Structure 1
Amino acid sequence: MSVKLYISHYSTNQSAQVALAKQYIGIATNVAEGLDKDAYQKFLLTKEDEDNRKEISHYLEQYRYRINALYVYILMLDESDVSKVMASAFPPHLKDFPIGEPCTVPPAQVRRAKSGKSYFTDIIKDEMNGAYLSVGVPLYSDDGTILGVVGIDIDAKELEEVSQQVVVNNNVFVFIIDILFAMSLLIVVFLLNKWYKIRFKRDLDQTEKMYISELGKVMDTIKSSRHDMMNHLQVLGGLMDLQLHDKVNDYLKQLTKESKISEMSLRIKNPILMVLFQSKWELSQSKNIQMYFEADQYDYSRVDSMDLAKIYSNLLDNAIEATESYSGDLPQQIHVVCQRVGGKYIFAVENPAQLTAKEQKNLFQYGYTTKENKDALRGNGLMIIKRTVERYMGDIYFQYEKGKVNIRIII
């Protein structure tokens, strides 16, 4: 918006400059048409300060005084791109140019004059005359030959007055609207930034609570495992004391089987998933639900660890809850998939469930749950998953067939 305001101000000034230049080009054209060409051609033959030059200078002074210009002059053009002052009219406090004195008209404008075109310059800064704008039109003889250029120098102060008139008086409403829009835009950006920070903090707090909760469960599991290990060692010691070696062998096989099942989650290189899977496995075991993992040894670094935790925590909580309340003929088992296939991540959970057509339709709606929702804290898990997956431009596929729910996520 700052750039826009600057460009608007600059373009308005440029428009004022062009408008003023065109006005003075018209005046210069009138000067050229009313000039005594014969007198000027005689002066060109001698190039001396004689009656013809004085007559021409007097004619130019009449126009200069009338339009209040800085200089009104005639330039001679030759083979070079340097124009030379031949006759001029000027204010009393400034000095006249000597005959043939080079002037400050840029070469590009000189070339335009030679090709028979009018010109105007940008603001020219001169130590002696200050800042001014110069315009010029070709001066033709009666037979169509270019004799030179009629030029006018306008004081930059006049340009500033015109610009001020155009910018302030004619465009003040536009500039006020631009400034108000810029301020409104800044306020909106500020509010959006505040909203984003609040939402980010809320999501972070939610994730941290979930992570701390799961970590606490793991710590409880470790304590429980230590207690169980002491019990197992005591049982094994008792069996050895009784020399029941077959029983010891069977007992060790059973411990090995359970250990392999619990180690499935440890194959994940991502520490957040490792903690989460271990925690959910322990929770499902406590509810007599078997949880099987089909996982790769991969860190899944393309998805933020906290987002992985959000996805699987909600999927597995829903799966455990649905399986626990399931009363059908299917075994109470949860199948968890966490794999990389090509450049895609496949996250899936399958479990038995009993869902009506309405429940299947509204499962991903915000706040919807198949359980009681008295405190309005339930029913947001799948919506959180959906929002998280959308952030990664992923897809969610839901399938309910033969009493089994399968939710598959591809990122």
Structure 2
Amino acid sequence: MNSRRQLLFLVTSFTILSILTCSKLVLTYYSTGNATQTTLAKQYITIAQDMAAGLDKSAYERFLQTKQPDPSIIQYLEEYRSRIHALYVYTLLLDDTDVAKVMLSAVPTESELLPIGSPCTVPPKQVNQAKDGLEYYTGIIQDKTHGVYLSIGVPIVSESGKLLGVMAIDIDASQLESISQEVINSNKVVFTIDILFAVILLLAFFVLRKWHKTRLKQDLYESEQMYISEMGKVIDSIKSSRHDRMNHLQVLHGLLTLKKYDRATEYLKHLAADSRALDLSMKINNPVILILFQSKWELAQSKGIEMQFETDTDEYSKIESMDLVKIFSNLLDNAIEATEVYEGKLPRRIVVTSRSKGVKTVYTVENPAILHAKDQKNLFHTDGYTTKANPNAMRGNGLSIIAKTVHKYNGDIRFRYDNETVKIQITL
């Protein structure tokens, strides 16, 4: 199932990558074509402005009045047309319609002369620009008669500032597509690098995703191991309590059978004092931590160790329960084991406290122990280090699990050993 999902992920990712890459190629193709058209149009607009500036305005105004072609103006247009290799060079008349009329023109020798007053194929948008006294250029125009071309125009203004018409140039656009293709071909290396970069990003994402899943599996495995270990201890505690309860019931049954009621009453009093359950239900709202502390308290009681809790109500609700279990399960197991073998003069007591410190909480476990200098140095600084003579794998990694969990929350661990007392303080 996982292999199929990974294959589906790779196929989907490469499909999306291919679509994006093709989209970029298409976009580049059209943007290159538009950029080429714009560059070419602006180049010819400059030429048209020179033509309009050098035109004999008086002669052109006479032509507009008489409608009789002026050979000098036609020669002027032809000289420019030949020099700039344009398809057509001509002037336009603007009237109240959206259609401009051709007036004087210079055309190739193989083409027919454009009749005066014939409609022009310049689109209405550009015609209206010209009426406002603005220069214009069109997109590529496909015409059955005149072929594929690009048209530009600039206003012709008299000495008095009157708009006389438009100086227009039609440029052969059949080569623009090949120019765009040449630009794309020249950028193949760039496109290849872009594709490789995208593939590397995809592979990096895939690797990071696998690493993240591996980390999650490892954390889940550690949590499961911790859960199994703690559940086993709880079950053992229940079995031990059941066994003790049966023994006490048998003793009471014997005393009652012998009608030693005073002895039975006294035995019940001692039994009630010795078997008081740890009441943390009013102090801890987190049920997972409550059960953990209850089981550790019962374990400590069974070994003759006193365990005290000094805690506030909500201090165990700010961190994920399983992370708190990882921390306290290992801390309390180590404290119980160290206190069990302690042979000094201090009382066999473990104290667990939690105190608020601004937005953070300080958790402390304190117990008696005898540690050598080597133990003090390596306890929280060497992975798998333990003070026990015959450590197993799980217990040897207890302190490293605590350190890793605290690091997850950018917390702080402080270890202090003084006068045969170990104090471990964790700030989260």
Assess same fold via TM > 0.5: yes
Distance 1:370 1:125 in 2: 85
Is 1:391 equivalent to 2:408 in the alignment? Answer: yes
Rounded Cα–Cα distance in structure 1 between residues aligned with 2:31 and 2:367: 68
Identity, % of aligned positions: 48
Q: What does residue range 321-332 of structure 1 map to in structure 2 within 5 Å?
A: 321-332=337-348
Partner SS, residue 114 of structure 1: coil
Aligned length: 403
Change (3 A) 1:52 1:286: farther
Aligned to 1:208: 224
Letter in 1 for 2:222: Q
Which residue in 2 is equivalent to 1:364?
380
Q: 1:399 to 1:76 in 2, by over 3 A?
A: farther
Match of 1:110 in 2: 129
State the Cα distance separating 1:51 from its structure 2 match: 1.9
TM-score by length of 1: 0.76
- Kept in 2, the 8 Å contact 1:83–1:105? The answer is yes
Deviations 1:176-232 (A, max 9, x none): 111111100100110110111112112101211210221122122222222222222
1:63 equivalent in structure 2: 81
CA distance in 2, matches of 1:130, 1:157: 8
* Counterpart-to-counterpart distance in 1, 2:156 and 2:355: 85
Q: Is the 8 A contact 2:305 2:340 kept in 1?
A: yes
Q: In structure 2, do the counterparts of structure 1 residues 310 and 120 end up closer, same or farther at CA, with 3 Å as the change threshold?
A: farther
User: In the alignment, is the contact (CA less than 8 A) between 1:399 and 1:405 conserved in 2?
Assistant: yes
- 1:55 to partner: Cα distance: 5.8
**What displacement does 1:309 show?**
1.7
* 1:11-410 equivalences in 2 (<5 Å): 15-33=35-53, 35-45=55-65, 48=67, 50-52=68-70, 56=74, 59=77, 63=81, 67=85, 73-75=90-92, 84-87=100-103, 103-104=122-123, 106=125, 110=129, 114=133, 120=137, 123=139, 135-141=152-158, 147-152=164-169, 158-169=175-186, 171-264=187-280, 268-298=284-314, 300-338=316-354, 344-355=360-371, 359-367=375-383, 369-371=385-387, 379-410=396-427
What is the deviation of 1:3?
A: 8.8
Shift in alpha-carbon separation, 1:388–1:27, aligned structure 2, 3 A: farther
1: distance between equivalents of 2:85 and 2:380?
79
Equivalent position amino acid for 1:211 in 2: Y
Q: Deviation of residue 172 (structure 1)?
A: 1.8
Work out whether residues 148 and 173 of structure 2, in 8 Å CA contact, stay in contact via their aligned partners in 1. Answer: yes
Stretch moving more, 157-166 or 337-346: 337-346
Q: Note the alpha carbon deviations across 1:302-350, whole angstroms, 9 max, x for none.
A: 4322222222222223323333344433222222235667754443322
Q: Give the letter aligned to residue 181 of structure 1.
A: F
Shift of 1:57: 10
Distance 2:75 2:337 in 1: 104
- Cα distance in 1 for residues equivalent to 2:270 and 2:116: 114
Residue 37 of structure 1 deviates from its aligned partner by: 3.6
Change (3 A) 1:366 1:329: same
Assess if the C-alpha contact under 8 Å between 2:98 and 2:128 holds in 1. Answer: no
Alignment-mate amino acid for residue 190 of structure 1: F
CA gap 1:38/1:201 in 2 versus in 1, 3 angstroms:
same
TM-score, length-scaled by structure 2: 0.73
* Range 326-335 or range 3-12, more displaced: 3-12
CA pair 352-84 structure 1, distance change in 2 beyond 3 A = farther
Contact 1:17 1:163 in 2 (8 A): no
> Which segments of 5 or more consecutive residues in structure 2 lack a partner in the other structure?
1-16
CA RMSD of aligned residues (A): 4.6
In the TM superposition, residue 135 of structure 1 has moved relative to its aligned partner by 4.1
In structure 2, C-alpha distance between the alignment counterparts of 1:248 and 1:81, rounded to whole Å: 121
Cα 1:55–1:193, aligned 2, differ >3 Å: closer, same or farther? same
Unaligned runs of 5+ in 1: none
Deviates more, 1:258-267 or 1:392-401: 258-267
Q: How far apart, CA to CA, are the structure 1 residues paired with 2:201 and 2:404?
A: 27
Q: CA deviation at 1:257?
A: 4.0
Q: Give secondary structure in 2 for the equivalent of 1:276.
A: helix
What one-letter code is carried by the residue in structure 1 that aligns with 2:178? E
343-352 or 126-135: bigger deviation: 126-135
Tell which deviates more after alignment, 57-66 or 11-20: 57-66
How far 1:90 sits from its partner (Å)? Answer: 7.8
Q: For 1:51, what is the secondary structure of its paired residue?
A: coil
Amino acid at match of 1:306: M
Structure 1 residues 168 and 228: CA distance shift in structure 2, 3 A: same
Distance in 1, Cα, partners of 2:89 & 2:228: 86
Deviations 1:150-187 (A, max 9, x none): 34455766443332222321x22222111111100100
